[in-house]
Structure 1
């Protein structure tokens, strides 16, 4: 079974083709991605209307590119999958509309996929795929969650952010320091030149006794410290970036280890854009090594939003019987869609 996946939830347009197999995980045949970062940099963040219009321009050429890479005729596609949510409403509508139009034209079924489930299952595309069950640390955009994963479609929420997510803490702290857009990667790069112990910043909810997160207070602390530095901020910016990153990473690592203890498991999956952070990977690796825990990541190029994770999630849901593709081409999107509701 060939599954074409379309991702358009925010500021990346992704298309991919996977081959589902009777046994084992699906195989990625081809994928293509366009990032809108250069377009949004002039505005300091994502402009939803511009994002939607750019998805319209990109999605069909990317689809043609994927089919050409895989040397597959469009008519050979068996299922067209798309991101149904969460995300920006207008951006989601582009992917959903194109997917359902292709399905109707080809008389092939379509399937809406949860964006976070795509991230959750993306490590199965890597060279070291995990095995069920595992604990998942989802750190994607506005989401920070810990999940117990028993299998495809069998997810238990262990903890989540009650305000800002880790990705937002990176981005907002970067903006306060004048690092531009996208802020998270810029802050991480600058942090490599700084002293992570230079400033004592809070670790919100680190000792709360539960598995929830809160990063809004950290953002406020970064702002307060930046104001204290005043004219010295430029000279100390790398230290402040390193201190902010250290606070975020420490909370993520300790909560992830606590979740493994709570779940009684020895396998951790890390997925989402923040999962590409080198400091997070290093410290998780060190903590996991002390506990004989296996940590699995998606390939670096698949940490960001992409069509491969959507096609993979669709193929795995179909194979497991947790979803049925439909030839009903009336569609809707869910900009807010808790993972627990799928």
Structure 2
């Protein structure tokens, strides 16, 4: 997909406080934007949660999910600190106060979130939604070193009109108080007349070899598995803050010497320059090993087809691609780490020392749709 990151149309669509329907952004295009690690794009928040509820409930739901993401990014939003660094509550509070002073951002909510992320028990009352919205988007911009944030909203076309109106009112409130732009996908909240339509000129992904999306089927898989309510742009070099499975796998790898060269959410540099750019979940460059941690949405026909195409491209470049489901990682991240240790040891062993092994059989379409190490 071609991202016109500096186009006038995109710049106009990024103005904080506005709610727009982006007529050339559908679910697949939004997936591509969220998957990108391009630093000249905004931070994208992908919200799939509007249901039949009040505007206040929608606001609270979005802010609760965003709070979880920001806490998972701690301490990257504090000055002078990096992912994985351990801070106690007093150190976190001092850094948060310094951040607010240097950025001229007056909010006790930032100190509250810093102490909370450092594991301190909650002291005093929880910040109100107005303070939370401003502080959370401020900290999100800090973590990604980007100036703009977009909340992209998908919604079922079967949502009752009153629920669509409530969700749209919540979007307007979040755009105002969170100082961000809200984009509705092309088919979201169509019963709300006051949302203006807009085009940003996003180039189309080549979908010629993809099956026709079956939205209803994909949604049923998503609901059954309980996907994240809110996802965020991939943070280059760190596991996704909305993914409990990626976070669990990182904890299992943190103190393993053999895993020290791992890279989260990076693009392999040695692919054919004419091939589409891909960002993989976890990468060991020297061993040429890629690990993907897949949610239930990867079982849908469109993502399944795209995954197979990506896997084939990576395999042609000499990469071994291992796929685990979220459930496999969450059930036993230690076991997954042990399997990865064995694979990396085999891949980095001198060629002459490797035992000759027959190639594993190719799974048939009737067999499991998940490719996992045996």
Normalising by the smaller structure, the TM-score range is under 0.3
Instruction: Compare the two structures and name the one with the higher strand fraction.
Output: 1
Q: TM-score, normalised by structure 2?
A: 0.26
- After TM superposition, the score normalised by the length of structure 1 is 0.28
Greater relative contact order (Cα < 8 A, sep 6+): 1
